Amino acid sequence: MSTTDAVTFWDGVYRARKPPADPRPNARLTELVTGLAPGDALDLGCGTGGDALWLARHGWRVTATDISAVAVDRLAALAQSKGLGGQVSVVRHDLRESFPQGRFDLVCAHYLHTPAELDRAAVLRSAAHALRPGGLLLVVDHGSAAPWSWNQDPETRYPSPREVAAGIALDAGAWRIERADAPRRIATGPGGRTAEVIDHVLLIRRTA
């Protein structure tokens, strides 16, 4: 899938959805970040913006990015409407070609899956290197497909958190894996539908 096709695909995904007035944050974000001292955060693949807005409301300064101009424009307007424009900077990036500038205390990559070609290991390696010492990289991947997911391919394989960490290939002397597991939860999708899903959770701290 070319860059143009990937942008068209994701713009279509977001254009087809009614934008939520107050998008929910991802469950693993609130579970793992609550209680941390706020700082600078980067939200990779921000989508409708639930994570970015939640972080901003909890004192974080957030850079949120997505390949979709539809998603980016909607989130920028939503942050302004909620009085969070000063806390949330929204920028469009195709992570195959560019990566946001800055140094961060937290980088979140929730469900950064795409039908387009993407060297995810390289993107996540860039994310780890963008951390300040002591900062956290939180990667949450699908471990199963919800009934409402855009990807219903039964042949899809979901790499384990340890496999993802091995692919990033970080120096153990400078980064430490703090969590790598596959918890289950009940997720709520469009129209209030619910289903049990598996999350693959990887939490890495930069130590030096």
pLDDT tens sequence for the chain (208 residues) = 666 699 999 999 999 988 899 999 999 999 999 999 999 999 999 999 999 999 999 999 999 999 999 999 999 999 999 999 999 999 999 999 999 999 999 999 999 988 888 999 999 999 999 999 999 999 999 999 888 787 778 788 899 999 999 999 999 999 999 999 999 999 888 778 899 999 999 999 999 9
Phi first, then psi: give them for residue 141, nearest 5 degrees.
-115, 160
Q: Where do the H-state alpha helices sit in 34-185? A: 50-57, 69-81, 120-129, 161-168
Rounded-to-integer distance, Cα 25 and Cα 151, Å:
21
Q: Which domains does the chain have, with CATH numbers?
A: 3-206 (3.40.50.150)
Rounded-to-integer distance, Cα 105 and Cα 20, Å:
28
CB atoms within 10 A of CB 107: 26
List the structure tokens of 124: 């996540």
Rounded-to-integer distance, Cα 154 and Cα 183, Å:
21
AA letter at 145: A
